[in-house]
Amino acid sequence: MANMGEIVICRCEEVTYGQLQATAEEHKCTARELKLRTRAGMGFCGGRTCRPSLDRILESVIPNIAPGEIPLKYQPPIRPVTFGTVGENQ
Amino acid sequence: MSDVIVIGGGPAGLAGAIACASSGLNVTIVDEFIKPGGRLLGQLHQEPSGEWWNGIKESERLHQEARKLSVDIRCGVSVYNLEKENHLWNVYTNSGTLTAPFVLVATGAAEYPIPLPGWTLPGVMSIGAAQVMTNVHRVQVGKKGIIIGANILAFAILNELQLAGITVDRIVLPERNQISQKAGEPEEVMKSLLNAAHLAPSPLLRFGSRFMRRDWIRKIGLNFYPKNGVKVNGTPLQLRKAAIEIIGKDHVEGVRIADIDANGTIIAGSETIYEADFVCIAGGLYPLAELTAVAGCPFQYIPELGGHVPHHSETMETPLEGLFVAGNITGIESGKIAMAQGTTAGLSIAKHVGKGAGTIDEQLQQAVKNVRTVRQHAAIQFNPEINSGRSKMNQLWDDLYANNNREDSPKKIV
Amino acid sequence: MTRIIDHPILGKLADREIITFQFDGNTYEAYENETIAAALLANGIRKLRVHEGSGTPRGIYCNIGHCMECRVTVNDQANVRACLTVVNKNMIVESGKQHPNIFKRMVEQR
């Protein structure tokens, strides 16, 4: 069996299942708090790869939460842009 | 200024642009990829009629049609934000801001991950990545690979890899855990494969599907499931084996695989390392809806549609004035459905603008009916419960938005 | 890796101009109008960068611009997605390198 704790969930920030599980359990995190504490989902890809896994970890930790009840919160920019691009545009 | 900006130049976006432009609207399409077509580009399968569905040809056909109608198609453009300001939509991209009263978001789908040890190694890729590399770029992803995850998308792409002369050594399940969930349980996997049995890749599955719908027969079937799997076009489908770890130093060298029981529990001492130079992760697709989320569109989680989808009507409008959706962003289905939805969205936009004179209502109704017809005749269905998922969204739309006495409130199409 | 020249359904690859480009100081051949990721894979190169912090090797993962794993430096512009960028004649492509993570070390030593 694989050592579940060592599986990298967020590839961008190399946050492991073990770190996420421990943080979620210790702090009874909201989705936002879990991301801020571990930086999972906050790397270069903006969580596009790991988000579904993060949601499943949260579902297993937060009591009585149904799949899909974790808010679908996204913030721009949803693609990495240089400060220059944002400056010119807005 | 364009009348309509279409985000995503796949089957839904191209069809939507064509419908808008045919009604006399000025349309701009933006897409991140090097050429239009989206996920359609990679698709290649044989229809039940024996004809080949060639995504590259279909994409070219749509592309040409759009060009004839003077649609402005811009490739290599990434959209990073979408915002409404003074009744106009601002589409922020890496090459400037575009503004229009109407936006069609047709951003398609992304792939569910299956994290396991070693999955960050070069040579491990999502199954969709292998499809694009093989059929679009025409470069072999490797000599011998292993697919982790058994679902419809995996089978379709397995076939495409084989056509290109690439050896797929075996298809195994992911290890059952909190993240892989049902994808790691042989019985659940068998159930979902049997539901799609009309396109079953092996005679055994096709034959079995008729009576294996009964639970107890299925259990027996799994208990006697051949240890070395059932061959799918020459590649063993091993529902009783799970990938534990991907091995390699600078790139994939192999996969550690263990035997599992019918529930997905690992049988101790059964681990073997199989050599491979590439691995495909087949976790399935989810609607890529982030742009509608930043725009402020409300969402509903509907598992039959693949995950969170923006609220939308059957005529492809969202609750936000001027914002429309089509294709996999509304639920995971085939490219043909995406096209039919794109046409519907385009006509819907034309109607909002006041184009199409007296016939637009009829055209729109026809387009909505066409989506249903295409769905009924679909050769590939990613989720067997798709009709129930679509009904849920239609019901939700009726409850929340259809009775608000808005002048343009959508009429129920029966 | 090999290119798929003859395909039973998609047909034969059209003749395209061959260009050269550089990756990490070495010169490689590519077809015009193909992506950096495809050209490198055709030359047998899978590793496009290492993780900035840990140095673990990375290559393409999604191949359609979602995951950002294939980001490389192109003609001095950092963080360009190799899977979405067409390779040009004489393009200078560099793999992503490990960075000394000063802040992380400061936190760890605290």
Strand C18-23 with C92-94, pairing: parallel
Do B4-111+285-402 and B124-281 fold alike per CATH?
yes
Q: What is the pLDDT of residue B414?
A: 46
- Distance (Å) from the C-alpha of residue A48 to the closest C-alpha of chain C? 6
CATH architecture of B4-111+285-402: 3-Layer(bba) Sandwich (3.50)
Overall average pLDDT of the C57-73 stretch: 97
Give the Cα separation of B304 and B318 in Å (integer).
19
- pTM equals 0.93
Determine the residue type at B16: G
Cβ of B76 and C47 within 8 Å? no
B124-281 CATH, one of 3.40.50.11740, 3.40.47.10, 3.50.50.60, 1.10.10.10: 3.50.50.60
Distance from CA of B263 to the nearest CA of A (A): 15
SS3 content of chain B, % helix, strand, coil (to 5): 35, 25, 35
The DSSP bridge pattern shows strands B323-325 and B144-148 to be unpaired
Q: How does the average pLDDT of chain B come out, rounded?
A: 91
C6: left (phi over 0), alpha (psi -120 to 50) or beta: beta
Look at residues B298, B309, B302 and name the one whose alpha carbon lies nearest to residue B389. Answer: B302
Q: State the pLDDT confidence band at B255, using cuts at 50, 70 and 90.
A: very high
Mean pLDDT for chain C?
93
In chain A, domain spans:
4-89
Q: Hey, what's the torsion of the CAs at B5, B10, B15, B17, to 10 degrees?
A: 20
pLDDT at A90: 47
Between strands A8-10 and A15-16, the pairing is antiparallel
Render B51-66 in DSSP notation, one character per residue. Answer: -EEEHHHHHHHHHHHH
User: Chain A: residue nearest C79 by CA?
Assistant: A80
Q: The tokens of B393 are what?
A: 């969204």
Q: Where are the domains of chain B?
A: 4-111+285-402, 124-281
| From C51, C53, C68, residue closest to A80, measured CB to CB | C68
pLDDT at C61 over 70: yes
Tokens of B199: 């396109």
Give the span between the Cα atoms of B133 and B88, in whole angstroms.
38
Cβ–Cβ < 8 Å for C21, C68: no
- Mention the CATH class of domain C17-97: alpha beta
| Residue pLDDT, tens place only, B187-196 | 889 888 877 6
Residue C89 burial (CB count, 10 A): 11
Beta-carbon neighbour count of residue C60 at 10 Å? Answer: 30
Q: Could you state, in order of their start, the residue ranges of all structural domains in chain C? A: 17-97
Mark out chain C residues that contact chain B at CB-CB < 8 A.
1-5, 7-10, 13, 33-35, 37-38, 41-42, 46-48, 51, 56-67, 83-86
Give the residue from chain A lying closest to B97, CA to CA: A89
Assembly ipTM:
0.93
CA B322 to chain CA centroid, nearest Å: 25
Mean pLDDT of B328-356: 95
Instruction: State residue B218's pLDDT score.
Output: 64
Please state, as a whole number, how many other Cβ atoms lie within 10 Å of the Cβ of residue B143.
Answer: 15
Q: Taking a C-beta distance cutoff of 8 angstroms, is the pair B101, B20 a contact?
A: no
C-beta neighbour count of B300 within 10 angstroms: 18
A7-53 confidence digits (pLDDT tens):
999 999 999 999 999 998 898 888 888 999 999 999 999 999 999 99
